[in-house]
Structure 1
Amino acid sequence: MIYKLLKSFKEYGIYVTIRKILHKLTGKPLMKKIHKIDLSKLPIMPKFEDIVSADYINNRYKKPSKIDKEILNIAWVSPPIGKGGGGHTTISRFVKYLQSHGHRITFYIYDNNTIHQTSKEAYKILLQSYHIDVSVEELENFKNQDVVFATSWETAYAVFNLKDQKLHKFYFVQDFEPMFYGVGSRYKLAEATYKFGFYGITAGKWLTKKLKSYGMESDYFDFGADIEIYQPTAPIKKKKKIAFYARAHTERRGFELGIMALQIFKERYPDYDIEFFGQDMSDYNIPFEFINRGILGKEELATIYQDSVACLLLSLTNVSLLPLELLASGCVPVMNSGENNTTVLGEIDDIAYAEAYPISLANKLCEIVEKTNINDYASEISKKYNDFSWEKSYKKVEQIIIREVINEK
């Protein structure tokens, strides 16, 4: 008996053991431990009442009639805004263009269950980090808009529940967000948003193809690069350096795969520096020496790209914005192969694709640094990719909005 109690204590702890003793003494059934679930505190979730209200099963959103206007009031419903985010960087590009063509822009902040942000806090970040001056309002004050964009899966629930029957609802889709999670509740809730009936504008063709399988209409824009920032103005002189887009807290960036590949590379080429950027890595115990650069501005990134022979860049969902910037800088992107990357970028010969496996990625890095005349090769690449302007994409997105919203004259 004592042996059984000791074993129970070791395996299950004191509370289970006490319940077993009480069961033996009283003959009553074991009490079950009650796990209280507070739906309001689950991380990165829409409000529970918004999920319940978003009844796309019985009341799928239907696009309203087109309107007779030239200048539109365009709202963007955003989750709380952080500094240096790729998603908001891309949104800010299109917002600036739409503003320059006279359209009136308002941001509305939708709190998820992790972060609360006031409109004043959001305005300050948009102005300082993304250099856009727009009206920012609380979502409960939503009014007088012609067009509204959901910008993430949580915000899609809030946009679905906006009651204005004349409102044209769009979904600005920059990634396949269900894949941000394991297959579970959040995966299915994110996936459901593609069935709401909104018109999608997606970052590249891969997402348009994905959304079509849900019956979602959409169009896409191509990626660009700020050539005036990234293209070298002086002759290229590469250093013995490899860059790594290190985002440990972003699962889709394959951080662990990258670390293993770089460790293999470093063992083969110990004289090469490895420079991390994208996140502050000072709290991480990396198994080789590296340079920690953290989150950087475009000009600082351009210097890293121009100095580095190659950049390890992993994208396991939609492709990153970085490959075209790297090519314009004369830096070879070493990337995982897959439709998510090639469908958007096309079969660009100067991107070094490899299987998403440490040995394959390390081998590809080694192939690049072993090239003769690295500086000449880098110069050729930089000159070849000098026309990746964002301007065509800006125009296309405005044309999509006008096509879907405004009556043709």
Structure 2
Amino acid sequence: MLKKVIRSYRQEGMRATLRKVKERLGHQASPQAQPEKIDLLHLPAMPQFDDIVKADYINFPYQKPKKISKKYLNIAWLTQPVGPGGGGHTTISRFVKYLQEQGHNVSFYLYHVNTINQSAKEAQDIFKRSYGIDVEVRELAEFKNQDVVFATSWDTAYAAFNLKEKNLHKFYFVQDFEPVFYGLGSRYKLAEATYKFGFYGITAGRWLTQKVSEYGMQADYFDFGADVEIYRTKTEVIKKKKICFYARAHTERRGFEIGVMALKIFKEKHPDYEIEFFGQDMSNYDIPFEFIDRGILNKEELAQVYHESVACLVLSLTNVSLLPLELLVAGCVPVMNDGDNNRMVLGETEDILYTEAYPVALAQQLCNAVERKDVNQHAEQMSQKYQGASWQESYQKVEEIIKREVIDG
């Protein structure tokens, strides 16, 4: 049991691990045991209760302060407790590192959602070990002397709204449309309300800028990039009889069940092809065909999977994943669900095989990818075509947006 808990924490982070432990303990509980009384103040995946109650954007809206005369800014990021391997924290860390390199003083402030206990020191160690950034992390109660604060999720937006420091410019780093993470209920409406707080939004891609603007939110966006030096093909491309799948069973928006059904259909038509799952520990899942469980991989390991695979099934039902551009750089065909959420960010390209988010349709596109007669040549052409897809322009654009909104002159 302990070894499984440790493995889950390393590969999936604290939130998923706590959920698994809770589920396991629930199965082991005695039938005669009395159910615990539900505490409204400690519902899972909620901001602190008092922060929601205090955030009166209707009667006391956030007023953007005057611009300031400074070259280098003190920039704070509010964060939930952090685990290794999170896509959201990976993207944030990219921009934090760049802002540090430009001379800005950047720090994180830890906001405790009700289900997770983590110290600032633990979070700081994870940022350094798993995300490669040396950044100070403090408790939110210690917040002071900042010019800019970024909310990074809907729960931290409540904490940011309630910060009363004078002349504090408030931004919202929006990486997905978070209301749809939940059913239509309290969490949906509370997440939705944060787009009305008056913060300036910086969104991951153009689709999200359009979404938040529906709530009257001013926003700008950055384009996605890829670590070209890691993912590009470096030798002659020789594909194996292999495809891969971005498998995130605990993340609803990744369409895990649809993906598994599509892969079952594909496997029946192409039994000689290996299928590798990555993105999550799948050791406890009963999958109806043979597959290789790769779990959480680092960038170099991902590059190897991409280089060997003809195609990758990667589903994004809300904002697009970071993976498709990485796959294109690596010469691996992305098979994806169609939709504005994907096309508005990635653009119109014949290199991505879009189709309906339905098992039969996705399986057919996987078959189309592997049945090409020029698989290796096509992979090399794709990789060459996307060699310029770096993050550098996005880093520069985000700094320019901050300076434009905050600095006078």
Question: TM-score, length-normalised on structure 2?
Answer: 0.91
Aligned to 1:99: 100
Matched, 1:67 2:68: yes
Worse overlay, 109-118 or 68-77:
109-118
How many residues in Structure 1 have an aligned counterpart in Structure 2? Answer: 378
Deviation at 1:41, TM superposition (A): 1.6
Give the whole-Å Cα distance in 1 for the aligned partners of 2:98 and 2:327.
24
Kindly provide the amino acid, as one letter, of the partner of residue 195 in structure 1: K
CA offset digits 1:90-130 (Å, max 9, x no partner): 00000010000000011001011111111011001000000
The one-letter code of the counterpart of 1:72 is L
Q: Which runs of 5+ in 2 are unaligned?
A: 1-34
Per-residue Cα deviation, 1:57-79 (whole angstroms, up to 9, x for no partner): 11111110000000000000000
Per the TM alignment, residue 165 of structure 1 is displaced from its structure 2 partner at its CA by: 2.5
Q: Deviations over 1:129-159 (max 9, x none)?
A: 0010011100000000000000000000000
Map 1:19-58; keep pairs closer than 5 Å.
Answer: 37-58=38-59
Name the structure 2 match of 1:144: 145
2:116 partner SS: coil
State the alpha-carbon separation in 1 of the partners of residues 224 and 115 from structure 2: 30
Describe the SS at the equivalent of 2:275. strand
Distance in 2 separating the partners of 1:218 and 1:253: 25
Structure 1 SS opposite 2:180 = helix
Structure 1: 5+ residue stretches without partners:
1-33
* Structure-to-structure mapping, 1:297-308, within 5 angstroms: 297-308=298-309
CA distance in 2, matches of 1:86, 1:36: 35
The structural deviation recorded for 1:35 is 10
Residue of structure 1 equivalent to 2:348: 347
The corresponding residue for 2:16 is none
Question: Considering only CA atoms, is the larger Rg found in Structure 1 or Structure 2?
Answer: 1
Deviations 1:191-235 (A, max 9, x none): 000000000000000000000000000000000001100001100
* Whole-angstrom distance in 2 between the partners of 1:92 and 1:401: 16
Distance in 1, matches of 2:215 and 2:350, equals 33
The whole-number CA distance in structure 2 between the counterparts of 1:374 and 1:245 is 21
Residue of structure 2 equivalent to 1:248: 249
Tell me the residue number matched to 2:28: none
Q: Which amino acid aligns with 1:53?
A: K
Moved beyond 6 Å, runs of 4+ = none
Cα distance in 2 for residues equivalent to 1:373 and 1:70? 53
Q: CA RMSD in A?
A: 1.5
* SS, match of residue 163 in structure 2: coil
Give the letter for the 1:308 counterpart: S
Alignment of 1:103-182 (within 5 A): 103-182=104-183
Identity %: 69
**1:47 partner amino acid:** Q
Confirm whether residue 402 of structure 1 aligns to residue 403 of structure 2.
yes
Deviation of residue 373 (structure 1)?
A: 1.7
* Structure-to-structure mapping, 1:289-328, within 5 angstroms: 289-328=290-329
2:78 paired residue number: 77
CA apart distance, 1:37: 4.4
Letter matched to residue 127 of structure 2 = L
